[in-house]
């Protein structure tokens, strides 16, 4: 008798037909903009610190990062309120309840990420005022921030993945592109977090290959298995590389010079990030193996 409700829920879930979705919901666009703001702001912020130094918390780069966090959290909160008060039937079928509210799982992940990002802001400001410029990216306040922005981008992936899996045939490819784009943003964030281990002069070191083997294969395989596109992991890796190359090409076009002593090296323009790791090569192998294994099954 205990298993009867669970069995009925599973039966109803399996018998559900894909929902016909015409076009792309507005919140998908906003969550993609939020993810892009985070990715652009992080690379800009690192370049700002390398060029100008840590002059103030209220830099344009910081504002772009936290704009992405606020957008992601705000849109997710709207989705939760809508499902709680105005779309209760949908909430009964697919919502996740928390503290009396009901919302999509992806929205809860994004809300948690937004809270973590905003919590890290005063912590990060205090850390810099106490210890100055970071020696490396991985520091306690940055790890809180990283947990937040990864949660928002992962929530964006879940949101677009749900739309892909529930859309009709005419829209499935469009949602697959959105999902693959957010996957490319996630790869970019992972590369940013491992910047100290992936400089060009370390590409022949054991440390670089160990970090790369831990960080990237699982993500590439997950993208390859979940997206409906052909060669999805390769496309996601190319999206990451395109984002990074744009920053490499654009940032040096703007003038900038150090404002905080000591100054050991004269800089006249914004320092670009390192050239992207060529992840599209292993991504091609991942897609090929995934395709072959799928045909064998």
* For residue 4, pLDDT beyond 50: no
What pLDDT does residue 186 have? 94
DSSP 31: H
Q: Over the stretch 28-42, which tens digit does the pLDDT of each residue have?
A: 889 999 999 999 999
What pLDDT does residue 17 have? 43
Q: Which residue has the higher pLDDT, 81 or 132?
A: 81
CA dihedral 61, 67, 72, 76 (to 10 degrees): 170
Q: Decide: helix, strand or coil at residue 269.
A: strand
Q: Over the stretch 57-99, which tens digit does the pLDDT of each residue have?
A: 788 888 999 999 999 999 988 888 888 877 655 545 567 777 7
* For residue 15, pLDDT beyond 60: no
Q: What is the mean pLDDT of residues 4-23?
A: 41
* For residue 16, pLDDT beyond 60: no
Residue 113, C-beta contacts closer than 8 angstroms, at least 6 positions apart: 69, 72, 73, 147, 148, 149, 150, 151, 152, 153, 154, 155
Mean pLDDT of the chain: 82
Is-cis flag, bond preceding 262, omega within 30? Answer: yes
Q: Write out the H or E segment, with its range, that includes residue 265.
A: none
What pLDDT does residue 93 have? 59
Q: Over the stretch 232-263, which tens digit does the pLDDT of each residue have?
A: 999 999 999 999 999 999 999 988 787 776 66
């Amino acid at each position: 008798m205990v298993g009867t409700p669970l069995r009925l829920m599973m039966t109803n879930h399996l018998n559900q037909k894909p929902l016909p979705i015409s076009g792309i919901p507005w919140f998908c666009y906003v969550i993609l903009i939020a993810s892009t703001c985070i990715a652009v702001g992080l690379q800009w912020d690192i370049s700002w610190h390398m060029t100008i130094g840590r002059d103030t918390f209220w830099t344009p780069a910081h504002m772009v990062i936290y704009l992405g966090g606020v957008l992601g959290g705000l849109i997710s909160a709207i989705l939760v309120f809508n499902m709680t008060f105005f779309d209760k039937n949908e909430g009964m079928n697919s919502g996740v309840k928390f503290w009396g509210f009901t919302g999509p799982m992806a929205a809860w992940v994004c809300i948690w990420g937004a809270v973590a990002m905003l919590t890290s802001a005063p912590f990060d400001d205090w850390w810099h005022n106490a210890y100055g410029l970071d020696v490396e990216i991985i520091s306690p306040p940055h790890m809180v921030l990283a947990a937040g922005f990864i949660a928002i981008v992962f929530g964006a992936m879940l949101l677009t993945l749900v739309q892909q899996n529930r859309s009709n045939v005419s829209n499935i490819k469009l949602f697959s592109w959105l999902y693959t784009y957010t996957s490319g943003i996630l790869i970019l964030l992972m590369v940013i977090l491992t910047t100290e281990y992936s400089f060009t002069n370390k590409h022949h070191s054991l440390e670089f290959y160990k970090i790369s083997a831990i960080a990237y294969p699982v993500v590439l395989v997950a993208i390859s298995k979940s997206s409906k596109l052909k060669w999805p992991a390769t496309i996601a890796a190319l999206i990451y590389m395109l984002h990074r190359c744009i920053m490499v090409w654009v940032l040096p076009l703007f003038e900038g010079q150090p404002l905080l002593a000591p100054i050991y090296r004269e800089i006249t323009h914004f320092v670009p990030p390192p050239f992207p790791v060529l992840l599209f090569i292993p991504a091609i192998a991942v897609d090929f193996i995934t395709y072959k294994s799928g045909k064998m099954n």
